Structure 1
Amino acid sequence: MDPVIIVGAGPVGLTLALALARQEVPSVVLDEGPGKDEPRLARTVVLREDTAALLARLTGMPIAEAGAHWAGWRSMRRKQVMRAFHFDPAPGAGTDDADADFGFGSADQPSGEPAEAAGPSPLHIAQHLLTGALRAALAREPLAKVAVDSRLDAVEQEASGVTAHTRGANGTYWRGSYLVGCDGPRSTVRKLQDIRFPGRTAVERHAVAALRAELPWPGQALLHRMPPWRTSGPSGGEVTARPLPDGVWRLDWLLPPGKDLVTPELLVARVRETLAGWTGGASPSYELLDTGVHTVHHRLARRWRVGRVFLAGDAAHCLGALGTQGLDEGLRDADNLAWKLALAWHHGPKEALLDSYQTERRAVVAARLRAADQALPILRGGKGLRAYVPGTARGHDALLSDGHLGRGALGAPGSYAPSPLTPRHLEAEVPVDTPPGAPVIDVRVTAEDGSFVRLRDRLGRGALLVVLIAPGTGVWERKHWVTAGVMPRLAAAVQALPHPAELLVAESYPGAAAHTVLLVRPDGHLVTALGGVRPADLYSAAEAALGGPVADRATAATEAGAAAGSR
């Protein structure tokens, strides 16, 4: 069968090629460039825990080794934030509350101490280093090929496959089973398929500088929302600082609305006044390494699938206001699509499964964009609701931090519920702390060979995961319990599933009772949790997760379509 054609050699396209290779699907990546990226320290990306783990699995090494930096967010003292954020304590607030920490950490930290964000810290890395690590991993894959200097100019598809034509010195025809456009916001694939891309232009603009300097918060990222030394204009001079290795920092200043030119003199003035404000004196010495202007657009493609052609990443959506991360969503696109394309490539297409890519991913990104659009007037509109609702500043500032920290409606990984792949009417279904459709929690499990691994390490191989919660198994060798209790019956049920599945055992899982059985998709989202070994329910759930027959398939598709909607 022909390979999958991937148009675009950015992080999303390279990730998709690696994810397909891990599931024994060949691909060719059409790269319109020379095969390497220009080093730009002012062009960096932020990865959440789940997407960083995905890239670590695919590249075979921790992404931090490629030149990334884990950065816990630094809280500011409330007294300072009261001046900078124009925060007015509620009537009767005491001095203890006024002295508490506030910002991206706990509000209950002692004054003057750094407050770490709850949960894992985001990962910050220069984009050219990330793509370099992905390219190096892809070069080791015999199933993947990167064709450089190959600019797409035509796509034709029929029932049996797709033909793409590239122009230039290496212009030729390419034959593929499917084609995925990962070619950015000006996507040629999207335009050739006549897909609309509505949305908003220049939602936010940021001046960006990469510099080497010593700041008072080594290894910690910082958001200073309204610095007291710069309060003029609608933006109030909001500035974000993120650390990179070797003493390098990326600083972003929110710019006022409009298209005013950001001159070198203006940028240098921003650098000096910010460094002086943070260090409490004259501007310390620094080395300016790179600069730029980052403009955030909010757009969402009307369709993400046209027959055998799909869109992913910036070709399908643009976002980034209030700390949201478009690359995170693009990598989740690749993770969601890879196992569905792999199943179709190996076993023939199931239309419900392939359609679910658009239904699931578009709904998640649309919800993220709606949340940002609803928050922007409150957080960027100056007085707004703050002038009328006492004590709302804490909630608004926490809302802003959600996008940067990867939590809440602005930042947390999305849930695929409802989805056309959601099973219906399972008598044995029980609740756990992870709702169906949400990403599973990364617990320690025992694999079939008796080794202890993380649950997340078993993802992305194309197989379903069946996890039995069995307290006490962690202290015994596998040979002592693999033939005891419910294990033989569960092993037989797993063997009979309509798709390859791996049986794992965990000591515990949040909210799950003993003998709970979890069914997990290849991309790490929970299908269902069952109370005990119920072969019929397990089979029905697996069949539904693969886009197979479900009694209420039409109802499920209708519900999921309504949830995806159109913005």
Structure 2
Amino acid sequence: MDPVIIVGAGPVGLSLALALARQEVPSVVLDEGPGKDEPRLARTVVLRADTAALMERLTGEPLDQAGMRWAGWRAMRRKQVTREVTFGGDEPAPLHIAQHELTGALRAAAAAERLVRISVDSRLDTIEQEPSGVTAHTRGPKGTWWRGSYLVGCDGPRSTVRKLLDIRFPGRTAVERHAVAALRAELPWPRQALLHRTPPWRTSGPSAGEITGRPLPDGVWRLDWLLPPGKDLVTPELLVARVRETLQGWSEGSVPAYELLDTGVHTVHHRLARRWRVGRVLLAGDAAHLLGAFGTQGLDEGLRDADNLAWKLSLAWHHGPHDALLDSYQAERRAAVSARLRAADQALPLLRAGGGIRTYVPGAARGHDVLLSDGHLGHGPLGAPGTYAHSPLAPRHLEAEVPVGTPPGEPVADVRVTAEDGSFVRLRDRLGRAALLVVLIAPGTGVWERRHWVSAGIMPRLAAAVTALPCPAELLVAESYPGAAAHTVLLIRPDGHLVTALNGVRPADLYAAAEAAVGGRRTRENADGMENAEATAGSAAT
């Protein structure tokens, strides 16, 4: 079968190619550039713990040397500390990394992957599709025709793919602007990210006085200054003045020694493509949406697009087209991004306004500071990752469904599990393999060798039920899971979102949930399988 054509060799396109390769799907990545990325320390991204884990799975290496996991977070208003967070345990540390470092790690992994081919200097100009596949033409030194099973546009805000499909991209332009500087300096809060609102050395209102500091390795910091509304030119003199003023204010005295490494202006746009799928052509990343009121989070959502799409494309590639499954990509991801855009559009006017009714409402400023900090930390309406509780893939009317610490549709907690070979691994390590995960919560199994309990109790019946599922699945065992009682069975999607939790081994419910998770029935064989699941499990038990 023809490979998947991926247009764009940024982090989203390369991540999608590597995610497909993990599921034995070949791809061709069309890179309109020369295959090299300009180092820019003023262009960085903040990845949540789960997306950072995804990047490490795909690159095959830890990213702690290239980026920094923060030790903590500090929020200040004027001279007062309003919030402090220490990362670790229940509050996993985000990963802050320069985008060129992340792209370089992905490029290196893609170059070593036999199922990924990167074609540089290949600019797309034509797409033709029919029921059996997609044909794309590129111009340039290597201009040629490419044949693929599907095509995914990961080609950024000015996406050629989106324009060729004539998909509208409505939204708001220049929602905010930030002056950005990357510098090497010794600040009072090593390895702590900082949000400082209305610092005492600035008196022109909160918009002009909101500063964010984010540490990187080797003593480097990215500093962002929220600019007042308008299109005033940010001159080098103005930026240097902001740097010196801020460093002096934070150091409470003279300006400490610093080395200015890179500068820029980050302009926030909020846009959302009307459609993310047209036949065998799909959009992902900045080609499908633009967001990022906090300057670093747009890529995090793009990587979630790739993770969501990869396993669905894999099932369609291996087992034939499935419209319901592929349509769920747009339904889930567009709804999640839309919710974040809506929350930002509603909250930002209140967060940025000076004076007005906020001045007379006790505690309003503190509440706004909390809301803004939550957005930076990945919590609340401005920062929490999207959930798929109302997904078309969510199962309905399961009699044995029980609540656990993770609601259906949300990302699962990363607990230790026992794999089929008896080894102990993290749950996230088993994701992204085009297989559903079935996790039995069985306290005490961690202290016994697998051979002692794999054939005992309910395990044979559960193993038989997993074998009878209508799609590939892997059976794992965990000693515990937040909010789950003993013998609870979790069904988890390849992208780490919980499908359902069942009270014990219920083969018919497990089958129905698995069938819904992959888009519903397609053949009579699948329909027959549901009726046979209970009988198969019953036979195993006897």
**Do Structure 1 and Structure 2 share a fold, with TM-score over 0.5?**
yes
How far apart are the structure 1 equivalents of 2:15 and 2:451?
A: 38
Describe the shift of the 1:522–1:386 C-alpha distance in structure 2 as closer, same or farther (beyond 3 A): same
Q: Does 1:68 align with 2:67?
A: yes
Describe the shift of the 1:321–1:104 C-alpha distance in structure 2 as closer, same or farther (beyond 3 A): farther
Describe the shift of the 1:78–1:293 C-alpha distance in structure 2 as closer, same or farther (beyond 3 A): closer
How far apart are the structure 1 equivalents of 2:87 and 2:501?
A: 36
2:330 to 350, 358, 371: 358
* Structure 1 residues 335-356: Cα deviation after superposition (integer angstroms, max 9, x where no partner): 0000000000000011100000
Q: Does 1:343 align with 2:323?
A: no
Query: What is the match of residue 281 of structure 2?
Result: 309
* Structure 1 residues 96-118: Cα deviation after superposition (integer angstroms, max 9, x where no partner): xxxxx42343xxxxxxxx89896
Query: What is the match of residue 11 of structure 2?
Result: 11
Describe the shift of the 1:531–1:10 C-alpha distance in structure 2 as closer, same or farther (beyond 3 A): same
Deviation at 1:121, TM superposition (A): 1.9
Query: What is the match of residue 365 of structure 2?
Result: 393
How far apart are the structure 2 equivalents of 1:147 and 1:547?
A: 33
Structure 2 residue matching 1:63: 3-state secondary structure: coil
Structure 2 residue matching 1:215: 3-state secondary structure: coil
- Give every structure 1 segment of 4 or more consecutive aligned residues whose post-TM-superposition deviation is greater than 2 Å: 72-79, 114-118
How far apart are the structure 1 equivalents of 2:38 and 2:76?
A: 39
* Structure 1 residues 192-242: Cα deviation after superposition (integer angstroms, max 9, x where no partner): 000000000001101111111111111111111111111215613211111
Describe the shift of the 1:239–1:172 C-alpha distance in structure 2 as closer, same or farther (beyond 3 A): same
- Contact (CA 8 Å) 2:76, 2:197: kept in 1 or not? no
Correspondence 1:158-197 to 2 at 5 A: 158-197=130-169
Correspondence 1:79-228 to 2 at 5 A: 80-81=79-80, 101-105=81-85, 119-228=91-200
TM-score by length of 1: 0.90
Look up the equivalent residue of 2:451 and give its one-letter code: K
How far apart are the structure 1 equivalents of 2:253 and 2:342?
A: 41
Look up the equivalent residue of 1:492 and give its one-letter code: A
Look up the equivalent residue of 2:413 and give its one-letter code: I
How far apart are the structure 1 equivalents of 2:77 and 2:279?
A: 55
* Structure 1 residues 67-99: Cα deviation after superposition (integer angstroms, max 9, x where no partner): 101113443577823xxxxxxxxxxxxxxxxxx
Number of residues of Structure 1 aligned to a counterpart in Structure 2:
522
2:226 to 248, 251, 254: 254
Describe the shift of the 1:285–1:79 C-alpha distance in structure 2 as closer, same or farther (beyond 3 A): closer
* Structure 1 residues 280-312: Cα deviation after superposition (integer angstroms, max 9, x where no partner): 011111111111111000000000000000000
Describe the shift of the 1:239–1:349 C-alpha distance in structure 2 as closer, same or farther (beyond 3 A): same
Query: What is the match of residue 499 of structure 2?
Result: 527
- Contact (CA 8 Å) 2:87, 2:93: kept in 1 or not? no
How far apart are the structure 1 equivalents of 2:169 and 2:72?
A: 34
- Contact (CA 8 Å) 2:127, 2:134: kept in 1 or not? yes
Correspondence 1:539-558 to 2 at 5 A: 539-549=511-521
Correspondence 1:442-457 to 2 at 5 A: 442-457=414-429
How far apart are the structure 2 equivalents of 1:547 and 1:78?
A: 49
How far apart are the structure 1 equivalents of 2:115 and 2:404?
A: 39
Query: What is the match of residue 33 of structure 2?
Result: 33
How far apart are the structure 2 equivalents of 1:384 and 1:365?
A: 30
Query: What is the match of residue 45 of structure 1?
Result: 45
Look up the equivalent residue of 1:379 and give its one-letter code: L
Query: What is the match of residue 431 of structure 2?
Result: 459
Query: What is the match of residue 235 of structure 1?
Result: 207
Query: What is the match of residue 402 of structure 1?
Result: 374
Correspondence 1:436-447 to 2 at 5 A: 436-447=408-419
Query: What is the match of residue 283 of structure 1?
Result: 255
Worse-matched range after superposition: 227-236 or 261-270? 227-236
Describe the shift of the 1:157–1:79 C-alpha distance in structure 2 as closer, same or farther (beyond 3 A): closer
Describe the shift of the 1:380–1:14 C-alpha distance in structure 2 as closer, same or farther (beyond 3 A): same
Q: Among the aligned pairs, what percent are the same residue?
A: 82
Structure 2 residue matching 1:396: 3-state secondary structure: helix
Structure 1, gaps ≥5 residues long: 82-100, 106-113, 551-567
How far apart are the structure 2 equivalents of 1:237 and 1:128?
A: 29
2:269 to 297, 317, 320: 297
Deviation at 1:322, TM superposition (A): 3.8
Look up the equivalent residue of 1:172 and give its one-letter code: T
How far apart are the structure 2 equivalents of 1:76 and 1:290?
A: 25
Deviation at 1:4, TM superposition (A): 0.3
Structure 2, gaps ≥5 residues long: 523-542
- Contact (CA 8 Å) 1:324, 1:403: kept in 2 or not? no
- Contact (CA 8 Å) 2:487, 2:503: kept in 1 or not? yes
- Contact (CA 8 Å) 1:155, 1:162: kept in 2 or not? yes
Deviation at 1:392, TM superposition (A): 1.9
